[in-house]
Amino acid sequence: MLSELADIQGVSGDEAKVRRFISEKLAGRGIETSVDTMGNFIARKNRGKLATPPMLSAHMDEVGLMITSIRQGGLLNFQTVGGIDSRVLVAKRVKIGREGLRGVIGAKPIHLQKKEEQEKPYKQESLYIDAGFNSREEAEKYISTGDYAVFDVSCIKMGNGFYRGKAFDDRAGCLVLLELLLENSDLCFNAAFTVQEEVGTRGAMVTAYTLQPQKALVVEATASADTPETEKEMSSTILGKGPAISLMDKTILVDRKMRDELADCAVRAGIPFQFRRFTGAGTEGGAIAYSREGVKTAVIAVPCRYIHSPHCVLKESDLQATVSLARAWLENNQ
Amino acid sequence: MNEDKIINALLELSEMAAVSGGEEAAVAAAARYLKTYVSDIKRDCFGNLLAFKPGENATGRPALTIALVAHADEIGAMVTKIEPGGFLRFTPIGGLDPRTLPGQPVTVHGKKKFPGVIGAAPPHLLTKKERGETTPMEKLFIDIGMDQEQAADKVKVGDIISLEQHPVALKNGKMMTGKSLDNRAGIAVLIACAAGLSRLYHSVDVVFIASLQEEVGLRGAITAAYGLNPDLAVAIDVTHGDAPELEEGRFFKLGKGPVVAKGPNLHPALVDRLEKTAGKYFLPVQREPIPDHSGTDAWAFQVAREGIPTALLSIPLRYMHTAVEMINLDDLFNCVKVLGYFIGGLNRTFLEDMKKC
What's the whole-number mean pLDDT along residues A21-26?
98
Of A109, A122, A228, the CB nearest to B83: A228
Alpha carbon of residue B235 to chain centroid? 10
Q: Could you report the per-residue pLDDT of B160-194, keeping only the tens digit for each?
A: 999 999 999 999 889 999 999 999 999 999 999 99
B135 touches chain A (CB under 8 A): yes
Neighboring chain A residues of B327 at a CB cutoff of 8 Å:
none
Of B83, B133, B246, the CB nearest to A121: B133
Q: Which amino acid is at A96?
A: I
B303 touches chain A (CB under 8 A): no
* CB B83 within 8 Å of CB B141: yes
Return the beta strands (E) in chain A as ranges: 32-35, 41-45, 55-59, 64-70, 76-81, 92-96, 101-105, 129-130, 148-151, 156-158, 162-165, 189-194, 215-224, 244-245, 274-275, 296-305, 312-315
Cβ separation A90–B100 shorter than 8 A = yes
pLDDT score of B116: 98
Asked if pLDDT for residue B59 goes beyond 80, the answer is: no
Cβ separation B150–A104 shorter than 8 A = no
Dihedral (C-alpha) B109, B110, B115, B117: value to the nearest 10 degrees? Answer: -90
**B59 or B166: which leads in pLDDT:** B166
Which of A90, A116, A197, A283 is the mutation pick for testing B, counting most B CBs within 10 A? A90
Which of A99, A130, A162 is the mutation pick for testing B, counting most B CBs within 10 A? A130
B319 touches chain A (CB under 8 A): yes
Q: Among B44, B80, B31, B5, which Cα is nearest to B187's?
A: B31
Rg of the Cα trace of chain A? 21
What's the whole-number mean pLDDT along residues A58-87?
95
What's the whole-number mean pLDDT along residues B90-95?
96
pLDDT score of B152: 97
- State the Cα–Cα distance between residues A39 and A195, nearest whole angstrom: 6
Q: Could you report the per-residue pLDDT of A167-188, keeping only the tens digit for each?
A: 999 999 999 999 999 999 999 9
pLDDT score of B245: 86
pTM beyond 0.90: yes
pLDDT score of B357: 60
pLDDT score of B123: 77
- State the Cα–Cα distance between residues B256 and B101, nearest whole angstrom: 30
ipTM comes to 0.91
- State the Cα–Cα distance between residues A19 and A197, nearest whole angstrom: 14
- What is the biggest distance separating any 2 CA atoms in chain B, rounded to whole angstroms? 76
Average pLDDT of every residue of chain B = 95
Taking CA–CA distances from B117, the nearest residue in chain A reads: A311
Asked if pLDDT for residue B61 goes beyond 80, the answer is: no
Cβ separation B319–A280 shorter than 8 A = no
Q: Could you report the per-residue pLDDT of B74-90, keeping only the tens digit for each?
A: 999 999 999 999 999 99
What's the pLDDT band for B109 if we cut at 50, 70, 90? very high
pLDDT score of A118: 86
Q: Which residues of A are catalytic?
A: 197
Asked if pLDDT for residue B65 goes beyond 80, the answer is: yes
Q: Which residues of B are catalytic?
A: 214
Cβ separation B123–A84 shorter than 8 A = yes
pLDDT score of B352: 82
pLDDT score of B249: 80
**B246 or A188: which leads in pLDDT:** A188
Asked if pLDDT for residue A43 goes beyond 80, the answer is: yes
Lowest-confidence region among A192-201, B148-157, B241-250, B285-294: B241-250
* CB B56 within 8 Å of CB B202: yes
